[in-house]
């Protein structure tokens, strides 16, 4: 991608319409973007639309036009709260929340096309925790997030209060069946390497 793609004038042609990408989105989300007739109910009910440069209905419209680079270049997909309101209200059964999942997955595969870093960092740390410990340990998650995002003081005032209430645990144990979780992560990586899964 060269230059800030979202500011460029949209040109729709055989070259800019990447149908392969849209097919991947449809396969991962098990839904068809062509069913959307732009009624806008998804965006009307979306609690996060005000934080997005492309509200949900426009994300689908851009997919219909094969303009996925514009979506990935922005922050919209990372500001989706996964509240499922859009999927619930769509009159055409377009599973928009699942489309958002697919777009985030493909954005990760495209390696950091989006500028939204905090949400991505939180997701990465969450998944690493599962692989390393089997479960989430909130204190570790929050502490590592603050260090890695450079926000050492974020929510610092909450810490002592939560500690006093027994809501933050200093120590934790690992699952006994950790080898199994590692195998699941490993098998999925293997399947992707062999082209058996997206």
Partner 1 sequence: MTSDKALTYAYFPGCSLHASAGEYDLSTRELFKALEIGLTEVPDWFCCGATPAHNVDELLSLSLCAKNLELAEAVEGDLAVACASCFSRLKFTQHTLGENATKRQQVEKAIDAPVKLEGNVKHLLEILARDLGLERLAASVQKPLSGLKVACYYGCLLTRPTDVPNLDCVEAPTIMEQVIESVGAETVAWTHRLECCGANFTLSRPGVVIQLTNAILDAAKAAGADCIMVGCPLCHGNLDIRQKEIEGVFGANYNLPVFYLTQLVGLAVGLDSARLGLEAMIVNPLPLLKSKGFL
Give whole-number Cα distances, 104 to 66, 97, 145, 190, in Å. Answer: 16, 11, 20, 21
CB-nearer residue toward partner 1: 38 or 82: 82
Distance of closest approach, residue 3 Cβ to partner 1, in angstroms: 26
- Give the contact letters, 2-31, x = binds to partner 1 (CB under 8 A), - = no: --------------------------x-x-
CB-nearer residue toward partner 1: 40 or 47: 47
Binding site for partner 1 (CB under 8 A): 28, 30, 47-48, 51, 79, 81-85, 87-88, 95, 97-98, 100-102, 104-105, 108, 118-123, 126-127, 129-130, 134-139, 141-142, 145, 154-155, 157-158, 161-162, 165-169, 175-177, 180-181, 183-185, 187-188, 191, 196-198
């Amino acid at each position: 991608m060269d230059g800030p793609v979202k500011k460029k004038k949209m040109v729709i042609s055989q070259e800019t319409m990447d149908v392969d990408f849209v097919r991947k989105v449809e396969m991962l989300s098990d839904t068809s973007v062509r069913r959307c007739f732009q009624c806008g109910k998804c965006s009307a009910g979306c609690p996060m639309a005000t934080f997005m440069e492309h509200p949900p209905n426009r994300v689908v419209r851009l997919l219909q036009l094969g303009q996925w680079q514009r979506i990935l270049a922005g922050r919209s997909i990372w500001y989706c709260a996964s509240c499922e309101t859009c999927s619930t209200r769509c009159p055409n059964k377009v599973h928009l929340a699942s489309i958002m999942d697919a777009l985030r997955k493909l954005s990760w595969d495209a390696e950091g096309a989006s500028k939204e870093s905090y949400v991505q960092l939180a997701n990465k740390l969450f998944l690493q925790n599962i692989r390393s410990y089997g479960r989430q340990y909130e204190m570790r998650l929050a502490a590592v997030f603050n260090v890695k995002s450079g926000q050492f003081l974020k929510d610092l005032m909450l810490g002592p209060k939560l500690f006093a209430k027994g809501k933050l645990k200093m120590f934790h144990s690992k699952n006994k069946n950790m080898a199994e979780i590692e195998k699941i992560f490993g098998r999925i990586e293997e399947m992707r390497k062999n082209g058996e899964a997206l």
